[in-house]
Structure 1
Amino acid sequence: MDVDVSTTTVDEVITSITTATHLSPSSAIKRPTGLDFTGFAPALTDAPKWLNDAVKHLCPLSPNSEWKEIITRFIEFERSLGFLDGKIPTNMLAPGKHRPKEVGVWIKAGHPNIPAIKSSFGAQWRLWYHELQPESCKANEGHLECIPPPDGEWTELWKGTINGVYSLLASLGWWLKSADACTVSNDELASALTDFSWALDTMTRASSAKRASSESAVRAGKKARIA
């Protein structure tokens, strides 16, 4: 069965995620109209056009406060990479063995509007996401452990630009939008949202530290030449 996620309600998943993540009812936006893009505008002042367009695609997928936090962390992740622009081949997220077919079609079509997804989409997304994880984060039975891995282990997931983690984030949003029609439980979705948010934050911290170290080395080199 195909589900047009553009017409699916999100009330049930908003309630389940609020409960699963211990958010009070007042902390979640209850209007089922998505998020207001203007709320992200200040953080996108120096961002490339593709990132602005990406956030515009993400905003309508859910009004949930946790979704807003994930989008914010996504923007900060791209910022930590220097707001890369264009389609950089080396930054393309690997399709692996489990990438949902809908994602590949969406990418080839030039990232159009929200596609229709199958009821098994959530389960397929989980397999793809797990496949891209550092080995040190993988646990038994497909579960993930939130343990910061060595920087070098982020190879498969540490990808910026429109062909990077954005594909994962957008497709996670489709799942969130159509959660009441998918075969994977809302607990599984809440877990995916929490883990993906953690991964973005962890990679951002590591990337920012690398940039700071690199800039410090450049300054030290300039001082040495002057001396």
Structure 2
Amino acid sequence: GNLKGASSDRRWQKLLRDFVMYESAGPAAGNLSTTKRPKAISDWIQSKKKAVIPSLPASYPDQWAAWWDALQPKWRAGADGPLSKIVGEDAEWSSLHKGGKSGFYTIVVSLGWLVHTFPIAARVWELVEDVAWVLSKL
């Protein structure tokens, strides 16, 4: 519903356009791992108020980043550094290549809350750019 309105920033708007393209290609529906998923996301999934942005704790950016890290394929994991963007020939994306309401959609919606609630946090925009990069590879 209100994804576009989360931010007018061009990086966010481009991510949304790329997400629409991804979904229109008809990826198989699937469920993302719930490992390290923030409670705010679990609560939202169980609630009936899907269009409402929940109130988020100050720790939500860190929680979200930890979940995003946990969702990544093993080859992207750095020791403590940034996630790898060197895509090998055998690189696979099965942990993230999931369509439907329980798939990448949940990443985009919950990232939208982040962008809306913490619009000036540099970390948030690093996450937006990484999510957009992953979307471009799926």
Same fold? TM cut 0.5 = yes
Q: Which runs of 5+ in 2 are unaligned?
A: none
Match of residue 187, structure 1, among 114, 118, 122: 122
Is this contact kept in 2: 1:134–1:149, CA < 8 A? no
Aligned length: 137
1:144 is matched with which residue? 83
Higher Cα radius of gyration? 1
Higher helix share: 1
2:56 is matched with which residue? 117
2:43 is matched with which residue? 105
Matched residue SS, 2:2: helix
Matched residue SS, 1:139: coil
Is this contact kept in 2: 1:106–1:112, CA < 8 A? no
Partner AA of 2:128 in structure 1: L
C-alpha distance in structure 1 between counterparts of 2:2 and 2:88, whole Å: 30
Partner AA of 2:19 in structure 1: F
The answer to whether the aligner puts 1:172 opposite 2:115 as a matched pair is no
Distance change (3 Å), C-alpha of 1:79 and 1:147: farther
The answer to whether the aligner puts 1:199 opposite 2:138 as a matched pair is no
Answer 1 or 2: higher relative contact order, Cα 8 Å, separation at least 6.
2
| Percent identical | 28
Task: Supply the RMSD in Å over aligned alpha carbons.
Answer: 1.9
Partner AA of 2:97 in structure 1: W
Distance change (3 Å), C-alpha of 1:73 and 1:177: same
Distance change (3 Å), C-alpha of 1:100 and 1:142: farther
Q: Which runs of 5+ in 1 are unaligned?
A: 1-55, 204-227
TM-score (norm: length of structure 1):
0.56
Match of residue 63, structure 1, among 1, 8, 21: 8
Following superposition, the deviation at residue 79 of structure 1 comes to 1.7
Following superposition, the deviation at residue 144 of structure 1 comes to 0.7
Runs of 4+ residues over 4 Å off in structure 1: 149-152
Partner AA of 1:133 in structure 2: Q
The answer to whether the aligner puts 1:80 opposite 2:33 as a matched pair is no
